[in-house]
Structure 1
Amino acid sequence: MSSVSARARFEETVRLVADPVRRYLWRRTDPATAEDVLAETLIVLWRRHDHMPAGTEAVAWAIGAARLQLANANRSQRRRDRLVAKITVLDPPAGAVAEHGEPVDEEVRITLAGLRTADAEVLRLWAWDELAPREIAVVLGTTVNAATVRLHRARRRFEDAWRKTHPVSGHIETEEGNEP
């Protein structure tokens, strides 16, 4: 089949299946995802056009392809959601606890945002991803010694930045008296 007739056949298939596939997707996901999945489905149709049935069966075949593409998009979204959840949970530094005992994640994130990008990254690898210096070295493509030094310096810079926004009075509270 010539490229002109293959293109014409594909364009005719798109005219036939695009609206039914779009409606199928709109009923199952948000509009932006539906459009992205429709685009991915059309790519599949182009690649597999020789295997598509003709006529009205093409609509069912295209919806089947869209169903698989939507499943892929949903899996990707779940992975992104898990990653975001992982990133937003951070073990706060010692003493960085609100009055009611909950971690001050927002304050930690603000402090991290004020650091150099390289310092924030090494701290996230250490705290959020729970990587040891040897694993951080692999991620950063450096030596274990260099990763250890970078982590040490980043922790110092974080502590300094933290102290600037969360000063400690320097006084130790003690209870005096003759109580047993």
Structure 2
Amino acid sequence: MTEQQARLERLARVVVEPLHRYLLRRTHADLAEDVLAETLLVLWRRIDDVPGLGPGDDDVQPDTGPPPDPADVLPWCYGVARGCLANARRAEGRRLRLLERLIRRQEPPAVIAPTDHTDHTDLYAALDTLTALDREVVQLWAWEELTPRQIAEVTGLTPNAVSIRLHRAKKRLAARLGRKDAERPGHKRVEGRSSQ
């Protein structure tokens, strides 16, 4: 096994599952699988660019080498997956436009329902009121549990810009969901702070 293969195997063991979840939250399962494969191909080609992966060793096998820290490698890998998903969506859009021209009718794209049976209609409606970038920042924070610094690495924003966008987006979501001034039971507000 080559050094590059060993390094990719160690990286894949850490990032494949989180990347797959990330993609499933943003698109349908078939496209998520294709984009994950494309993401792994990009990671293969750019294995030396992955921050936090560290230098490889020719003699290290994937089972004996230390796994990378997910907090170091995942934000960069999310950024790669995000770019691959954007490319796939553009390609799919071009294909659909060509198909529409060929059959001379337009059909709306299918809406993929969440696999969770809990009703999150209000949440998804509130998320749809945000800009695409604000929605992505909130989803990276809430679903992928990334810090503002890590979100900045994924989106190309500064950590400060991410923090500001996240704060404002959370306020808009809370207001949209009717939780703007809701007090928690058992807590009294004194000069803008909880007394407990």
Q: TM-score range by the shorter chain?
A: 0.3 to 0.5
Bigger CA radius of gyration: 1
What TM-score, normalized to structure 1?
0.47
RCO (CA 8 Å, sep 6+): is it higher in 1 or 2?
Answer: 2
